[in-house]
Structure 1
Amino acid sequence: MRTFGVEEELLIVDPESGMLLALADLMLPSLVPPDKGSARVLAGQKPVYEGGADFSYELKLEQIETQTRPCLDYKELLRQLRQGRALADHAARAHGGRVAALATSPQGAATHLTPKPRYMTMQERFGLTVRNQLTCGLHVHTFVETPEEGVAVMDRIRDKLAVLIALSANSPYWNGAETGFESYRTQAWNRWPGSGPSMIFGSLPIYRRVVTRLVESGVLLDEGMIYFDARLCRQHPTVEVRVADVCLRAEDAALIAVLVRALVESASREWNDGVDPAPVPTVLLRMAAWQASNCGLRGQLLDFGTFTPAPAADVVRALVDFVAPVLEEQGELDLVREGVDRILAEGTGSQLQRGPFRAGGLAGVVEHAVEVTARGAIVGEPAVSRSPLGRAPQG
């Protein structure tokens, strides 16, 4: 079984008002080993905990990123997700805040740029896009043997990634407004010039040539701004799938990661068997992503075989059927079917936000999210490890 892991971006909020709090610079020093001071954290250093979560800054001080170590199964991944949420929440509590697994902020407020030179340059270059940028995603990393395999996988999963947008949808509110979308994060994120679905590359040299040309265009600052829906990780031997909203429930995040790993394994087998990627135009992939972002699981999605409208539940179950042979081999098929049925019955994070909104407005949405984010979290003091990151999923 391939190792896999995730990065989760969490909002830092006032638990009573639901307003954003710029606390990441105060939280991070308490989440790193004692020999790493805050100056080194600001310079981009990441802490390492044995068997548990790592943490890092994101673009804004109102959010924090947790990173699992490489895992082999759903149970261990879920444990690390819960531990990361618990540790981040503990650090936020020390400064009067909490963390919330919301993909966009329901409450409107000014945000504060993390004081790193690269982020400052981005703000100068991209203006309002950076000033307005505060989204929280779930990024799933899955091990690949070679970059060539990674490109082959990306070519063969691109037509199915929109389903994950719908399944993870967790951002109906944005800066004090009802958006009319289930995943408004997808809309906000895709303002970046390097974001969205990519072409079929066909080979590693072509992938590298496209990336080089994009950077040489001068539009992007560097290769780190290649924000494709799926990309090769620069630091580790993984394919990074970046389409999902951060999930309100840790169980949903772990489930989506299991689905991504099964997609990667299925795609690798197709490549080895000489099966060509589905020749779906990139513009159609954008339509599928928009529809998933707009409707989530409430209406219709574009079927990833025909790219015509179909009931969302049917499309999600078709995705599970597609990867069922791999899931069954790995003993995960029943787990995934039950998890998908649960989400279809109970609702995505976006759907679950609407009840608290009716009861308590936007502040009620955040209060509920804080409770759910912390629910079932593992509390405990992790052991500090100085071991190398190895295949740790960080992008």
Structure 2
Amino acid sequence: MSVTPTTTAPISTAPAGVLALGVEEEFLLLDAERPEPAPVVDAVLDRVSPALRASVRHAYLRTQIGVAAPPVAGLDALWRSMSLLREGVADAAEAAGARLVAIGAGPLTGPDAPVADLPRYHRTAERFGPLAPGHGLNGMHVHVGVGDPELAVQVLNHVRPWLPVLHAVTANSPFYQGVDTGYASWRSIMWERWPSVGPTPHLESYAHYRHLLDDLIASGAVLDDSMLHWHARLSATGPAVEIRAGDVCPSLEDTMLVAALIRALVATAITDVGAGLPAPAMNQQLLAAAHWRAAHDGLEGVAVDLVNQRPRPAWHLLRRLFDLVRPQLERHGDLEIATVLMSRLRSHGSGAARQRAAFARHATLDGVLTSLTEATRG
């Protein structure tokens, strides 16, 4: 879980019509020999190479670490940056006697991890108490460059019906306290404890967005702009729309597919806004139910079709989303690789499905974590 800004690099200048794209990921740190969380984030940070250090930072707990690639225009450039970050931090973790694991929530029992030793995190812990139990809730945030805040707010309205589908794609935390929870993303359920987490409401304007955020800060439920944890928001650190509904993905291939789909979805929304098309109307409670269903079933089960208000197989809705954003995938040069990655995701299943398959093979969570450690590094 991140409760502080983690994207400090400015949105890079992209070619005309191409939206800049950036990704943040959070990871669990495990002991190198035992399936136990390791509160060694400071030792890992000390061992990260100078070339990568500016893009690696604390997350909320000492058993977590985060990375953030500077936003770029090309998916291939983002892929290279994220690959270097995953490999570099995995190397640093190994040097510190730990393993880097891309998992939405720590699956084993044990005492809650200590908060990272930074003033803001201590202030958060004092205000909110034990809302982040266990060893860390690890998410993925995708930033898409949109410079006009009024346009960005309208984009938030337009993307809302598709975020539960992307939520299902990223589900990667079925185990908690040593057992299968029955949910594909148990992280999502624990994450809902925080008062500022949930689906983005319909917004009338940027002034409306700002007014709501200021009221939340005044209420004490939010410390500052960066602690607004709606599933989609305006980035607190740059001119961008930030989508933050999902678990961290087990492999970089999954991350890049989600990032490509989100950029294409944002670009599609911009086109619709420009054409004067209204955002789809939907009930906020049904939207929340769709996100709950995504957390429960993941990609392998049923999803809520918010356009037709009917349950459908999650894969059918993902295919529909792909078809919807296909023109923007093509315009951004991402269609070919996104098609390949969709096929691989269909073959391998979501992170939750892969974790359950690994448990069936190994019969232990240690075997699951070993598989995830290998997938994280790639």
| TM-score normalised over the length of structure 2 | 0.91
Mapped to 1, the partners of 2:166 and 2:20 lie a distance apart of 20
For 1:255-266, what aligned pairs fall within 5 Å after superposition?
255-266=257-268
Partner residue of 2:33 out of 16, 20, 24? 16
Check whether the contact 1:248–1:369 (CA below 8 A) recurs between aligned residues: yes
**Is 2:63 aligned against 1:62?**
yes
Check whether the contact 1:200–1:277 (CA below 8 A) recurs between aligned residues: no
Mapped to 2, the partners of 1:194 and 1:311 lie a distance apart of 29
Secondary structure at the aligned position of 1:286 is classed as helix
**Is 2:217 aligned against 1:200?**
no
**Is 2:357 aligned against 1:365?**
no
Could you say which residue in structure 2 is the equivalent of 1:391? none
Mapped to 2, the partners of 1:219 and 1:243 lie a distance apart of 19
How many residues are matched? 359
Could you tell me how far 1:14 is from its partner in structure 2? 1.7
Secondary structure at the aligned position of 1:366 is classed as helix
Partner residue of 1:29 out of 46, 51, 60? 46
Check whether the contact 2:157–2:203 (CA below 8 A) recurs between aligned residues: yes
Mapped to 1, the partners of 2:308 and 2:152 lie a distance apart of 25
Could you tell me how far 1:32 is from its partner in structure 2? 6.3
For 1:333-372, what aligned pairs fall within 5 Å after superposition?
333-358=335-360, 359-372=362-375
**Structure 2 letter corresponding to 1:236:** G
Secondary structure at the aligned position of 1:276 is classed as coil
Check whether the contact 1:144–1:150 (CA below 8 A) recurs between aligned residues: yes
Secondary structure at the aligned position of 2:147 is classed as coil
In the superposition, relative to structure 1, how do residues 249 and 200 fare at CA in structure 2: closer, same or farther (>3 Å)? same
**Structure 2 letter corresponding to 1:185:** R
Mapped to 2, the partners of 1:132 and 1:158 lie a distance apart of 30
Moved more, 55-64 or 274-283: 274-283
Partner residue of 1:190 out of 180, 189, 192? 192
Could you tell me how far 1:320 is from its partner in structure 2? 0.5
Report the identity percentage: 34
Deviation sequence 1:124-175 (CA, Å, 0-9, x none): 2222213447111110001002111211111110111010111111110113
Could you tell me how far 1:29 is from its partner in structure 2? 2.5
Could you tell me how far 1:225 is from its partner in structure 2? 1.7
Could you say which residue in structure 1 is the equivalent of 2:74? 73
Could you say which residue in structure 2 is the equivalent of 1:304? 306
For 1:1-395, what aligned pairs fall within 5 Å after superposition?
1-31=18-48, 33=50, 47-48=53-54, 54-110=55-111, 111-132=113-134, 134-358=136-360, 359-375=362-378
Deviation sequence 1:156-209 (CA, Å, 0-9, x none): 101110101111111101132211011111111111100111211121111111
Secondary structure at the aligned position of 1:66 is classed as strand
Check whether the contact 1:16–1:363 (CA below 8 A) recurs between aligned residues: no
Check whether the contact 1:122–1:130 (CA below 8 A) recurs between aligned residues: no
Could you say which residue in structure 1 is the equivalent of 2:12? none
**Structure 2 letter corresponding to 1:67:** A
Mapped to 1, the partners of 2:32 and 2:325 lie a distance apart of 40
**Structure 1 letter corresponding to 2:303:** L
Moved more, 348-357 or 315-324: 348-357
Check whether the contact 2:29–2:37 (CA below 8 A) recurs between aligned residues: yes
Q: List structure 1 segments (4+ residues) > 3 angstroms apart after TM superposition.
A: 130-133
Mapped to 2, the partners of 1:326 and 1:270 lie a distance apart of 12
Deviation sequence 1:330-380 (CA, Å, 0-9, x none): 2322322332222122111111111221214111111111111112xxxxx
**Structure 2 letter corresponding to 1:114:** A
Check whether the contact 1:123–1:131 (CA below 8 A) recurs between aligned residues: no
Mapped to 2, the partners of 1:207 and 1:219 lie a distance apart of 16
Secondary structure at the aligned position of 1:368 is classed as helix
Could you say which residue in structure 1 is the equivalent of 2:9? none
Secondary structure at the aligned position of 1:67 is classed as strand
**Structure 2 letter corresponding to 1:14:** D
Check whether the contact 1:123–1:130 (CA below 8 A) recurs between aligned residues: no
**Structure 2 letter corresponding to 1:108:** T
Mapped to 1, the partners of 2:301 and 2:120 lie a distance apart of 40
Mapped to 2, the partners of 1:19 and 1:364 lie a distance apart of 13
Mapped to 2, the partners of 1:201 and 1:332 lie a distance apart of 30
**What is the alpha-carbon root mean square deviation over aligned residues?**
1.6
In the superposition, relative to structure 1, how do residues 286 and 133 fare at CA in structure 2: closer, same or farther (>3 Å)? farther
Mapped to 2, the partners of 1:299 and 1:360 lie a distance apart of 23
**Structure 2 letter corresponding to 1:13:** L
Moved more, 249-258 or 340-349: 340-349
Secondary structure at the aligned position of 2:364 is classed as helix
Mapped to 2, the partners of 1:121 and 1:270 lie a distance apart of 42
Moved more, 248-257 or 23-32: 23-32
Secondary structure at the aligned position of 1:325 is classed as helix
Check whether the contact 1:15–1:366 (CA below 8 A) recurs between aligned residues: no
Deviation sequence 1:103-143 (CA, Å, 0-9, x none): 11122222111011221122222222134471111100010
In the superposition, relative to structure 1, how do residues 133 and 361 fare at CA in structure 2: closer, same or farther (>3 Å)? closer
Secondary structure at the aligned position of 2:150 is classed as helix
Query: Bigger relative contact order, structure 1 or 2, given CA contacts below 8 A and separation 6+?
Result: 1
